[in-house]
Amino acid sequence: MKQIILAAALSAATALPALAERIPLSDLSSYINGIRRAQAEFTQISDDGAIATGTLYMHRPGRMRFEYAGDEQLLVIAGGGQVAIFDGRANTAPEQYPLRRTPLNLILARNVDLSRSGMIIAHEDDGTSTRVVAQDPDDPEIGQIEMVFTDDPIELRQWIITDANGYETTVILGDMQEGISTPSRYFNIPAEMRARGLSE
C-alpha cells in the first residue's frame, strides 16, 4: 500500500509544471550591459495614478529619451550626466537633476554590476518573472528601482522607481527592439533647449 501511495505521489509531482527559477544577478547584469541602442513603446503610471504612453529610446551608457504620445511638448531626456524634464506648456527651462542622483542611473551606468555589495534589496521569482530591487549602495537615500525581467531570452519588462520622497513611477515596456539607430541629438539637452527657444 505504501508503495502505491508513493508511486502516486511521484506521478503527481512529475505531472506538475516546474516553477521557474530566479535569473542569476550575473546574467541580469550581462543582459543590461549588452544593451546599447534600443527602442520600445511604454506605458507610464505615476504615483497619483495618471497614465501616459509613448516611445522610449535608450542608448547606453548614460542616455535615455521618453517621448510622450499626444503631447509633443512633454519630454524627458537623460544625457550628458543630467536628467531634464521638458514641459512646453510652462515655456521655461527644464527641471534638471544629476543622473547619478537618480535610480535610473542603475540601468544606464557604464558597467552595471547587480552583485555589488549593498546594491540588492530583494531578488525573487514569482513563477513567471524575476524581480530585483536595487539601490545605489553609496547613495541609498536617492531612492530605489525595482526591475522585472522575463526569461528565455532575458528581457526587461518593467521598472518601478521610488524617489527620495517615496513617490513611485511605474514604466511598463513593450517589446524592446535592439540595435536601433538613434540620432545623438535625441539625448542632447542643450540642443533641445535651443530648439525650443529656451536659454541654457
Other Cβ atoms closer than 10 A to 21: 10
Q: What is the pLDDT along the chain (200 residues), one digit of tens a residue?
A: 434 333 333 344 444 344 568 999 999 999 999 999 999 999 999 999 999 999 999 999 999 999 999 866 789 999 999 999 998 777 788 999 999 999 999 999 999 999 998 999 999 999 899 999 999 999 999 999 999 999 989 999 999 999 989 999 999 999 999 988 899 999 999 999 998 888 76
Closest CA to 92 of 72, 73, 79, 77: 73
Q: Do the Cβ atoms of 42 and 26 come closer than 8 Å?
A: no
Q: Do the Cβ atoms of 176 and 156 come closer than 8 Å?
A: yes
**47-54 long-range CB contacts below 8 Å, 24 or more apart?**
47/167, 47/168, 47/169
**pLDDT computed for residue 89 by the predictor:** 78
Q: Is residue 7 part of a domain?
A: no
Collapsing DSSP states into helix, strand and coil, what is residue 21?
Answer: coil
Q: Based on the structure, what is the number of domains in the chain?
A: 1
Q: Do the Cβ atoms of 162 and 149 come closer than 8 Å?
A: no
Q: Is residue 115 part of a domain?
A: yes
Q: Say which CATH number the domain at 155 has.
A: 2.50.20.10
Q: What are the beta bridge partners of residue 155?
A: 150
Instruction: Match 540595435 to its residue by C-alpha cell.
Output: 179
Give the contacts of 106 (CB within 8 A, at least 6 positions apart). 112, 119, 134, 135, 136, 145
Residue type for 11, please?
A: S
Q: What is the pTM of this model?
A: 0.84
Q: Is residue 16 part of a domain?
A: no
- Residue 105 CA to residue 128 CA, distance in Å, equals 26
Q: Is residue 179 part of a domain?
A: yes
- Name the E strands within the chain: 37-45, 51-59, 63-68, 74-79, 82-87, 95-98, 120-125, 130-134, 143-150, 155-163, 168-173, 177-178
Q: Is residue 8 part of a domain?
A: no
Q: Is residue 9 part of a domain?
A: no
- Residue 189 CA to residue 186 CA, distance in Å, equals 8
Q: Is residue 6 part of a domain?
A: no
**pLDDT computed for residue 72 by the predictor:** 64
Domain of 109 in residue numbering reads as 22-195
Q: Is residue 14 part of a domain?
A: no
